[in-house]
């Protein structure tokens, strides 16, 4: 390609973004150079700032540039006795957007995967045990992903909770709302039968 | 949203990229923080470098960090007597990828649009006239976009060429190769009839 080498490296660099292939990267680079150099400069600064300064919350391990995240320092959240366990910081965002949950969180930053050398300490279970022992927590909601690894991780944490006499619950698996029974896979459908609930008419 | 403010600004900043909405921006930010901080830092540096150092080629006005671009300094290209006029630097890339053209280029960086205050000087027609007068150019290939503005721009340049006694040609409009006659719009189809060529059996 007969284009400038700086431009070539920029196009290559943009491909570190998820979902960005060679064509989109090219379009992005030309767009920024042609129409939005200010936005490009701003993005460079924000990226640098975020990559350097964003660390993990001391309590829940989500992303924050402070010692503790906004949820952990909230006094309203501290009154709650529920703790929700998720795999990644973006899971917190998804749960917060439902508006259904007002307790605290703990982020595993992964899931158990002995084959990749990810054991209980790598996903912070030592820290979680400490929190469960020191804080007033009555219910641990296991919101790990519905995958084999996610289930295994949820089981290990449920055992830990049983030892400490804390209730552990698992989020429901079933047919997605607005979905179509016909298109739902068999495993999900059998989960939705196993997890059926009595219709309460009151 | 209960997330870190630095992270919020990064998500907002990523939206300056074309085709990136709130959901993709969020996914990109979390991906970089979680899995590719090094890639993020590298991208920040490349962006900054490109936005500051990439300017326009003195001759053809495409993007380059040098005085003249790689195409304009190529001695092989200088032997050609063809000059191709395009609207944007990315058009050059598209034409180069066909491998069909080995002449020089001139980038208008836009098209005539009197309503937006874009007249002949804004798209560098003064500079183009100078080049046509000083260089040995026998044919000007007008590869502006097949839009009303692109056609108007092509017409103005064709007039300029006529005054200087240079042949001006327009790239063909017609049915896209591999396409389906049924799905082609009427204007394109009538262009493909007007531009029909005799089949040469030799």
Q: Is some CB atom of chain A closer than 8 A to the CB atom of B109?
A: yes
Assess whether B113 and B154 both reside in one domain: yes
**Is position A22 within any domain?**
no
B198 and B122 together in one domain: no
Q: Is any Cβ of chain A less than 8 angstroms from the Cβ of B30?
A: yes
Indicate the helix (H) or strand (E) that contains A161: helix A148-163
Q: Are residues B27 and B48 in the same domain?
A: yes
Q: A90, B49: Cβ pair inside 8 Å?
A: no
Q: How many alpha carbons fall within 13 Å on the CB side of residue A68?
A: 12
Work out the minimum CA distance from A61 to partner chain B, whole angstroms: 12
In this structure, the answer to whether residues B144 and B67 fall within a common structural domain is yes
How confident is the model over A172-186, as pLDDT tens digits?
888 888 878 888 888
At B147-196, the pLDDT tens digits run 999 999 999 999 999 999 999 999 988 888 887 888 888 888 888 888 88
**B82-86/B55-56 β-pairing:** unpaired
The CATH number of the domain holding residue B24 is: 1.10.8.420
The verdict on residue A185 lying in a domain is no
| Domains contained in chain B, number | 3
Cα Rg of chain B, angstroms: 22
Mean pLDDT taken over chain A: 91
Task: For residue A134, list its beta bridge partners.
Answer: none
Residues B81 and B14 in one domain: no
Dump pLDDT digits (tens) for B34-57: 999 999 999 999 999 999 999 999
The domain of B162 spans 56-170
Most A CBs within 10 Å, among B1, B7, B41, B88, to test the A interface: B7
d(CA A27, CA A10) in angstroms, rounded, equals 11
- Whether the CB-CB separation of A87 and A95 falls below 8 Å is answered with no
Per-residue three-class SS string for B95-121:
HHHHCCCCCEEEECCCCCEHHHCECCC
Q: What is the dihedral of CA A96, A102, A108, A109, to 10 degrees?
A: 30
**Which tens digits make up the pLDDT trace of B62-113?**
999 999 999 999 999 989 999 999 999 999 988 998 888 999 999 999 999 9
- The answer to whether the CB of B71 falls within 8 A of the CB of B106 is no
In this predicted complex, what is the ipTM?
A: 0.84
Q: Give B-chain residues touching A27 at CB under 8 angstroms.
A: 18-19, 90
A1 and B CB contact within 8 Å: yes
A45 close contact with B: CB closer than 8 A: yes
Q: Which domain CATH number covers A73?
A: 3.40.1360.10
Residues forming beta bridges with residue A86, ordered by sequence position: A107
Minimum distance, in Å, between the CA of residue A201 and any CA atom of chain B: 35
Residues B17, B19, B21, B26: is their CA dihedral positive or negative? negative
Grouping H, G, I as helix, E, B as strand and the rest as coil, residue B127 is: helix
Regarding whether B104 and B30 lie in a shared domain, the answer is no
Residue A96 lies in a domain: yes
Looking at the DSSP assignment, which residues form a beta bridge with residue B64? B55
Residues B86 and B109 in one domain: yes
Do residue A89 and residue B33 have CB atoms under 8 angstroms apart? yes
CA distance B74 to A162: 74
Residue A124 contacts residue A131 (beta carbons within 8 Å):
no
Asked if B115 and B152 sit in the same domain, the reply is yes
Task: Report yes or no: B40 at the A interface, CB cutoff 8 Å.
Answer: yes
């Amino acid at each position: 390609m007969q284009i400038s080498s700086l431009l070539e490296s920029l196009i290559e660099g943009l491909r570190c973004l998820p979902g960005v292939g060679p064509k989109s990267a090219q379009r992005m680079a030309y767009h920024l150079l042609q129409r939005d150099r200010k936005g490009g400069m701003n993005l460079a600064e924000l990226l640098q700032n975020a990559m350097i300064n964003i660390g993990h919350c001391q309590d829940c391990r989500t992303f924050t540039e402070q010692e503790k995240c906004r949820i952990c320092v909230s006094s309203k959240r501290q009154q709650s006795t529920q703790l929700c366990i998720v795999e990644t910081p973006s899971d917190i965002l998804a749960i917060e957007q439902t508006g259904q949950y007002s307790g605290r969180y703990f982020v595993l930053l992964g899931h158990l995967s002995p084959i990749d050398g990810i054991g209980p300490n790598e996903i912070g279970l030592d820290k979680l045990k400490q929190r469960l022992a020191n804080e007033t927590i009555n219910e641990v909601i296991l919101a790990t992903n519905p995958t084999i690894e996610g289930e295994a991780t949820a089981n290990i944490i449920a055992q830990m909770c049983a030892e400490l006499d804390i209730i552990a619950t698992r989020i429901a698996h079933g047919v997605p709302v607005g979905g179509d029974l016909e298109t739902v896979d068999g495993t999900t459908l059998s989960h939705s039968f196993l997890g059926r609930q009595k219709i309460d008419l009151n």
